[in-house]
Amino acid sequence: MTGPGDVVLRLTDVVKTFPGVRALDGVQLEVRAGEVHCLLGQNGAGKSTLIKVLSGLHRPDSGTVEWLGQPVTFSNPQAAMKAGIATIYQELDLVEDLTVAENVFLGHEPKVAGFVRRRAMVARTTGILGRLGHGEIPPRRAVHRLQAAGKQIVSMARALSHEARLLIMDEPSAVLAHDEVENLFRIIRELTAQGIAVVYISHRLEEIRTIGDRVTVLKDGRTTAADLSAAETPTSELVSRMTGRTIEYVFPPRVAAPAERAELLAVDGLSRAGEFTDVSLTVAAGEIVGIAGLVGSGRSELLETIYGARRADTGTVTVAGRRLPPGNVGAAVRAGLGMAPEERKSQALLLGEPIYRNMTLSTFTRIARLGFTSARRERDEADRVARSLDLRPSDVGRPVRTLSGGNQQKVVVGRWLLGDTRLLLLDEPTRGVDVGARAELYRVIHRLAAEGVGVLLVSSEVPEVLGLADRVLVMREGRLIRTASAGELDEDTVLDLVMAGSLMEGTPI
Ligand SMILES: Nc1ncnc2c1ncn2[C@@H]1O[C@H](COP(=O)(O)OP(=O)(O)OP(=O)(O)O)[C@@H](O)[C@H]1O
Ligand SMILES: [Mg+2]
């Protein structure tokens, strides 16, 4: 795939510091026209900081950036866009209250005599969305009404609305389901065939192997390897360049679960119009139940309804024999439910508050039960959890805002490790989490189960569902279409079920 592309972008010795953190400590990077250049590195290695330097959001302290042969400093993202560098950020930066079309053309609206040509803008947006395979997204809809995957597409449409020569994507697949990742790859191939360069960041090695040409590895803000072949470099080498050690990227063996498995959660006939229909399921103490399904299949909505963040139209949720009042998070938390939601920024984190606060503040009742008498205790407890999840930096006094994306995710999950959660609802728990920390997280989930906590888990990554769960539920278009023990299913079967529903409802294998 690697063409004889010219070097379009070259970074030499780039340094960027934040108070107390040397995020980039001498980075080298070279990107060629028409290639997919992958950036690999652990959570906090500096990947997002690097692309923010490239896109004009951060100024480097020192070092040089050469773009198309010229040294450049972009003073803001618009300047970078004008020069032909478009970026899709890890934390999407759309204006929620504007429409899809307004977001796509924000800052470069087609105008005549100073007036925005709305109709042209909408038409061009429709065209770009169609090219992205998502013609169904209405250009006039407010962005806040879209699901995460839809927002991602809008963000891509915005990048394509510029005549970009370099497209930077920071974990674009993190919010996408399996078939949408294939769609994304199709788009990337079209772009690179036109000579556009792509910088692609992902923690999923199999994606990098599928779409990537060359790999640059960052560790602690430095380039530890460059010009590696994406397809041929052995996984063990990639991982050891990232981490400085070797990690078994496998699912840890299950610690023996308690033999006595009392039923903990019973969901019966739960429905919400337009989201999911007649869902019944159970989770026993110490059991891990995984839900596989596409984005938009109703999985997240189901979890949120069980948690009481949404109110069911019909059906009941029972925890340890007691019915939960519908639409009441407080009651759910008091009954021992904990939830790590999908959209950590909007739903879960107080970004300006320190890490330990975010971990302990889940509810006051819980903290009271933990009996924190002092901030000191609170910090010590958070410290313990931070260590068990390999949080970096591990100083729990830092504001969450300054953490890298993957480390923020660890905080969201970490808060439920503190108290006496009986049932944990996890929506895409390893999204954006690097391979090393992912193994830690799996271990933590297993440990909780071994202690008798029930876990209901949603993941777009089928191997993760199969590797972690005792029992797998397959969800499609708002209905549970299959239940089986994880051992009875393989990845292809689950994918078939999820995508095409190739087996009839309820048909045993
Ligand atoms: N605005 C900021 N203020 C202070 N520190 C920051 C800020 N932004 C990033 N950092 C720190 O810089 C380092 C690099 O973070 P960065 O977000 O670039 O990591 P990353 O490689 O993108 O990780 P991830 O895979 O988790 O997204 C981290 O230690 C992070 O805590
Ligand atoms: Mg990042």
- The ligand minimizing its distance to the Cα of 407 is 1
d(CA 125, CA 156): 11
d(CA 27, CA 14): 5
Q: Are 258 and 452 in contact (CB under 8 A)?
A: yes
DSSP letter for 213, please.
S
Which of 446, 383, 175 lies closest to 294, judged by CA?
Answer: 175
Centre of ligand 2 from the C-alpha of residue 180, in Å: 21
- The ligand minimizing its distance to the Cα of 408 is 1
Q: For ligand 1, atom 7, which residue shows the shortest CA distance?
A: 402
Which tokens belong to 53? Answer: 């330097």
In order of 303, 424, 450, 508, the CA distances from 428 in angstroms are 11, 12, 21, 27
* Helical pair 375-388 and 405-414, crossing angle rounded to 10 deg: 120
Q: What is the pLDDT of residue 313?
A: 96
Centre of ligand 1 from the C-alpha of residue 86, in Å: 20
Which tokens belong to 186? Answer: 């199709």
d(CA 67, CA 273): 51
For ligand 1, whether the C-beta of 44 sits within 6 Å is yes
Share above pLDDT 90 across residues of the chain, in percent, rounded to a whole number: 45
Atom of ligand 1 nearest to the CA of 393: 29
Which tokens belong to 271? Answer: 């429905």
For ligand 1, whether the C-beta of 174 sits within 6 Å is no
For a mutational test of ligand 1's pocket, the pick from 27, 404, 409, 435, i.e. the residue with the most ligand atoms closer than 8 A to its C-beta, is: 404
Which of 253, 224, 203, 225 lies closest to 437, judged by CA?
Answer: 203
Which of 478, 499, 483, 482 lies closest to 279, judged by CA?
Answer: 478
Cβ atoms within 10 Å of 186's Cβ, excluding its own: 12
d(CA 418, CA 199): 38
Q: What is the pLDDT of residue 45?
A: 93
Predicted confidence band of residue 7 (pLDDT cuts 50, 70, 90): very high
For ligand 1, whether the C-beta of 436 sits within 6 Å is no
- Domain ranges in the chain are 7-243, 250-336+421-428+452-504, 342-420
- The ligand minimizing its distance to the Cα of 49 is 1
For ligand 1, whether the C-beta of 489 sits within 6 Å is no
7-243 and 250-336+421-428+452-504: identical CATH topology: yes
State the chain's mean pLDDT as an integer.
86
For ligand 1, whether the C-beta of 72 sits within 6 Å is no
Query: In this predicted model, what pLDDT tens digit does every residue of 243-286 receive, in sequence order?
Result: 876 655 566 666 555 566 889 999 999 999 989 999 999 999 99
For ligand 1, whether the C-beta of 405 sits within 6 Å is yes
Helices (H), 389-507: 405-414, 435-450, 462-468, 491-499
- The ligand minimizing its distance to the Cα of 89 is 2
Which of 431, 433, 482 lies closest to 459, judged by CA?
Answer: 431
Per-residue burial over 225-237, b if 16 or more Cβ lie within 10 Å, else e, is beebebeebeeee
Centre of ligand 1 from the C-alpha of residue 270, in Å: 40
Quick check: 453 pLDDT over 80?
Answer: yes
- The ligand minimizing its distance to the Cα of 40 is 1
Cβ atoms within 10 Å of 436's Cβ, excluding its own: 18
DSSP letter for 411, please.
H
For a mutational test of ligand 1's pocket, the pick from 48, 57, 89, 391, i.e. the residue with the most ligand atoms closer than 8 A to its C-beta, is: 48
Q: Are 26 and 221 in contact (CB under 8 A)?
A: yes
Q: Are 307 and 336 in contact (CB under 8 A)?
A: no
Q: What is the pLDDT of residue 249?
A: 52
Q: Are 35 and 192 in contact (CB under 8 A)?
A: yes
For ligand 1, whether the C-beta of 430 sits within 6 Å is no
Which of 400, 385, 398 lies closest to 348, judged by CA?
Answer: 400
For ligand 1, whether the C-beta of 45 sits within 6 Å is yes
- The ligand minimizing its distance to the Cα of 39 is 1
Query: In this predicted model, what pLDDT tens digit does every residue of 392-423 receive, in sequence order?
Result: 888 999 999 898 888 888 888 888 887 778 99
Q: Are 169 and 200 in contact (CB under 8 A)?
A: yes
Query: In this predicted model, what pLDDT tens digit does every residue of 11-54 receive, in sequence order?
Result: 999 999 998 889 999 999 999 999 999 999 998 999 999 999 99
Q: What is the pLDDT of residue 372?
A: 54
Query: In this predicted model, what pLDDT tens digit does every residue of 454-498 receive, in sequence order?
Result: 999 998 888 888 889 999 998 888 899 888 888 888 888 777 776
For ligand 1, whether the C-beta of 409 sits within 6 Å is no
CATH of 250-336+421-428+452-504, one of 3.40.30.10, 3.40.50.300, 3.40.640.10, 3.40.462.20: 3.40.50.300
Q: For ligand 1, atom 31, which residue shows the shortest CA distance?
A: 403
d(CA 218, CA 49): 11
- The ligand minimizing its distance to the Cα of 44 is 1
Q: What is the pLDDT of residue 504?
A: 39
For a mutational test of ligand 1's pocket, the pick from 16, 51, 355, 402, i.e. the residue with the most ligand atoms closer than 8 A to its C-beta, is: 402
Atom of ligand 1 nearest to the CA of 42: 25
Centre of ligand 1 from the C-alpha of residue 8, in Å: 25
d(CA 128, CA 167): 15
Q: Count H helices and E strands in the chain, helices first.
A: 18, 22
For ligand 1, whether the C-beta of 367 sits within 6 Å is no
For a mutational test of ligand 1's pocket, the pick from 42, 49, 391, i.e. the residue with the most ligand atoms closer than 8 A to its C-beta, is: 49
Cβ atoms within 10 Å of 447's Cβ, excluding its own: 14
For ligand 1, whether the C-beta of 51 sits within 6 Å is no
CATH of 7-243, one of 3.90.170.10, 3.10.129.10, 2.120.10.80, 3.40.50.300: 3.40.50.300
Task: Name residue 350's amino acid.
Answer: L
Atom of ligand 1 nearest to the CA of 52: 18
Centre of ligand 1 from the C-alpha of residue 18, in Å: 9
Predicted confidence band of residue 371 (pLDDT cuts 50, 70, 90): low
For ligand 1, whether the C-beta of 47 sits within 6 Å is yes
Q: What average pLDDT score do residues 214-227 get?
A: 95
- HSE, CB side, 13 Å, CA atoms: give it for residue 5: 26
d(CA 454, CA 286): 5
Quick check: 192 pLDDT over 90?
Answer: yes
Q: What is the pLDDT of residue 271?
A: 96
Q: What is the pLDDT of residue 370?
A: 54
